[in-house]
Structure 1
Amino acid sequence: MTETKPHLPQIRIAATYMRGGTSKGVFFHLLDLPEAARQAGAVRDAIFLRALGSPDPYGKQIDGMGNASSSTSKGVILSRSAQPGHDVDYLFGQVAIDKPFVDWSGNCGNLSAAVGPCAIHMGLIDPARLPRNGVFTLRIWQANIRKTILNHVTITDGAVQETGDFELDGVTFPAAEVPLEFLDPAEGGDGGGAMFPTGHLVDQLDVPGLGRLPATLINAGIPTIFLNAQDLGYTGVELQDAINNDDQALARFEAIRAHGALRMGLIQDLAEAATRQHTPKIAFVAPPASYTASSGTRIAAQDIDLVVRALSMGKLHHAMMGTAAVAIGTAAAIPGTLVNLAAGGGERSAVRFGHPSGTLRVGAQARLVDGEWVVTKALMSRSARILMEGFIRVPGDVLRA
């Protein structure tokens, strides 16, 4: 008989599985994690990877809660806030699908909408503070990027209102609206603290084999590289298959992303981009055009201000990342950026843009102060819903990581 080595039994960890915006993720209360995972390190990463089912060379995450896309391979840790004037600390991990890697470098704007409802569900908010009926505003400390996010959560009969009539393109069913405010989305953020790390609204990005590409490099919501669709040979109304089935196109986007990250000061060497997949994001824009969304809905050019397509974790996103939407709204509010020019130029406080699944409206409050653009907040609405609650089970050897 072949001798087999002993295996540790599975451990179980209390968790909540939630949809937030057009993303899904596994939410943990910090104190429910094994003690070794209550701080950053290998054990925490191992739990996130195993819970989501990564790394999976088949790309399906069959042995975990992930759904084989960057939008659904996510984990969150919540705790009572250690920051003055805040209710909840929110830490986000983007879990790679085919690699043993968790990226902690940025936020998820979509899951940000689920943080308030989940925090209330987990008992992180004193019930005495909640109205019987009304709207409760949570101040959330986004620990990855050290920013404040406000969640305006509707309470009905003493509980979070999850069902409703708010429709969000990219999400099949309506739910209750969760308005979000991202405060000072560019001030002191990633990439050296400047909204425009290079000091320019438009740069010329030199990429070997592709030449010089006009680009707006902005740090708002999440570091983002905006390009003109026509400079890449696109129209701006492409759907996922047009990009994600083209390996050469994906390689070009990754090369642009790496050179943009270097130019933004996010990395010191091009090789570092491979270990920083979640940020920066890369997106391309074009003036408004009519197209058919992935749902079959016809989007009319006259109903939108511009079209935007964005990539996340190396693939074209099926809708729009929430943090990238913050970047879009911020860049659109500042005359002269590529996003602003695609929307027709001039000062504007909000835009409605077309994405692969439909449209989204996002606003930003921008003003010029001593010759520098300042954005005090970005605003948009999402929805959130608990899909499952209970326990995640993962093999006990994660504690040996």
Structure 2
Amino acid sequence: MKHIPQIKIPATYMRGGTSKGVFFRLEDLPEAARVPGVARDRLLQRVIGSPDPYAKQTDGMGGATSSTSKCVILSPSSRPDHDVDYLYGQVAIEEDFVDWSGNCGNLSTAAGAFAIHAGYVDPARADANGICTVRIWQANIGKTILAHVPVADGAVVEAGDFELDGVTFPAAEIVLEFLDPSDEGEGEGGGALFPTGNLIDVLDVPGVGALPATLITAGIPTVFVNAQDIGFAGTELQPAVNGDKALLARLEDIRVAGALAMGLIRTAEEAATRQHTPKIAWVAPPQDYLSSAGKPIAAGDIDVNVRAMSMGKLHHAMMGTASVAIATAAAIPGTLVNQAAGGGAREVVRFGHPSGTLRVGAQARQVDGQWTVTRAVMSRSARILMEGWVRVPQGSF
């Protein structure tokens, strides 16, 4: 048999927040994969190990969860006053597609750190001891993110005492600012924080009936529903949800109904290849529960309980972009999230999720009767796990 060598591609494997992904510099990719298209998708799928009918991604870098089936491509920014362009691909595990429809808030943290590691930031700024602010253009959704990355002696500081529920070990804190984080939208309400113009809509969901929902585009398009309206308490952990196929199908029906109402898809069938957006999340007033690590979470320590789905499964913690949506909706009186959090105006919300709690801030205001969000702020951490090359079989893309 003729020997066909594998192709080596420079890559870095990073954790960002509660996610992991394979990071590439655009110029390091094979020429055919430097532009959007089939070659790029096939390459990233082969790197991650998808599509995999066994749902294990054993023959790739993926970790068989939505949080670990991710790729990032960075390049010098094509936008003025930005350091890098950051493109994110959510690689489906079992299905044959890469979803480019939204951002990953957790990996936005790592994008800021990687920009410095990769030499995309002026060395004079990175050499300063303290904080280096990396200005990121999020190319999937066309938004600006500021990553305030700790640096010392020209390198990213990764060790620290910042603790993040859902991440085992402490690390250095990176503060993220999402500027004007409302999604541009694709339907009739394109550009609107609430695509339908309503703080609460009533969705007609097959098999469920009339279901109140808040449809919002901050951070990432998200469909919020009340936990009790779908038979939940709001304190669910992954085992109670992810093994129940009938329940997962019902949650997908709700997500599809929300996507149609938001104008993100034209037919229900389109949702099959758009799993990354919108998200579906359910909210409930504060109550005690045990996190997935057995840590007691007291109702008095949180404002609201939230659980969110990612790529068809309950997320083990909370997506960064969904956290922006939660903070924004909590800040606006009249939304389901705000009501579950006790009502009233607020700029900070602390919510409970399966792995613990998270504090996120958002600034929202009304202009000519329309709600807008100017920024959202949260803290995460990031760390390089491995760097060198990934290998893919020749002819696989």
Q: Normalized against structure 1, the TM-score is what?
A: 0.97
Distance of 1:361 and 1:21 partners within structure 2: 13
Distance of 2:313 and 2:16 partners within structure 1: 20
1:175 aligns with 2:171: yes
Post-superposition offset of 1:157: 2.2
Post-superposition offset of 1:189: 4.5
Match of 1:396 in 2: 394
Match of 1:285 in 2: 283
Distance of 2:33 and 2:396 partners within structure 1: 10
3-state SS of 1:220 partner? coil
Distance of 2:353 and 2:125 partners within structure 1: 38
**Residues 183 and 219, structure 2, Cα contact 8 Å, conserved in 1:** no
Match of 2:337 in 1: 339
Distance of 1:129 and 1:286 partners within structure 2: 44
Match of 1:64 in 2: 60
**Residues 145 and 190, structure 1, Cα contact 8 Å, conserved in 2:** no
Post-superposition offset of 1:125: 1.3
Match of 2:349 in 1: 351
Match of 1:86 in 2: 82
Match of 1:188 in 2: 184
- What pairs up with 1:325-336 in 2 under 5 angstroms? 325-336=323-334
Match of 1:252 in 2: 250
3-state SS of 1:83 partner? coil
**Residues 283 and 310, structure 1, Cα contact 8 Å, conserved in 2:** yes
* 1:227-277 deviation line (CA, Å, top 9, x unaligned): 000000000000000000111100001111111101100001110000101
Match of 1:273 in 2: 271
1:95 aligns with 2:91: yes
Equivalent residue in structure 2 for 1:30, among 20, 26, 35: 26
3-state SS of 1:379 partner? strand
3-state SS of 1:71 partner? helix
Post-superposition offset of 1:130: 2.2
Q: Normalized against structure 2, the TM-score is what?
A: 0.98
Distance of 1:190 and 1:114 partners within structure 2: 28
Count of aligned positions? 395
Distance of 1:189 and 1:150 partners within structure 2: 22
Q: 1:56 to 1:395 in 2, by over 3 A?
A: same
Match of 1:366 in 2: 364
Post-superposition offset of 1:100: 1.7
Post-superposition offset of 1:128: 2.2
Larger displacement relative to structure 2 (292-301 or 364-373): 364-373
Match of 1:49 in 2: 45
Larger displacement relative to structure 2 (368-377 or 190-199): 190-199
Gaps in structure 2 of 5+ consecutive residues: none
**Residues 119 and 125, structure 1, Cα contact 8 Å, conserved in 2:** yes
Identity percentage of aligned residues = 71
Post-superposition offset of 1:299: 0.1
Distance of 1:286 and 1:129 partners within structure 2: 44
- What pairs up with 1:220-239 in 2 under 5 angstroms? 220-239=218-237
Distance of 1:53 and 1:187 partners within structure 2: 30
**Residues 190 and 223, structure 1, Cα contact 8 Å, conserved in 2:** no
Post-superposition offset of 1:133: 0.5
Distance of 1:265 and 1:288 partners within structure 2: 32
**Residues 186 and 263, structure 2, Cα contact 8 Å, conserved in 1:** no
3-state SS of 2:252 partner? helix
- Runs of 4 or more, structure 1, over 4 Å off, are none
Match of 1:136 in 2: 132
3-state SS of 1:397 partner? coil
* 1:283-304 deviation line (CA, Å, top 9, x unaligned): 0000000000001100000000
Gaps in structure 1 of 5+ consecutive residues: none
**Residues 291 and 299, structure 1, Cα contact 8 Å, conserved in 2:** yes
Q: Which amino acid aligns with 2:209?
A: G
Post-superposition offset of 1:158: 2.0
Distance of 2:42 and 2:169 partners within structure 1: 33
**Residues 190 and 222, structure 1, Cα contact 8 Å, conserved in 2:** no
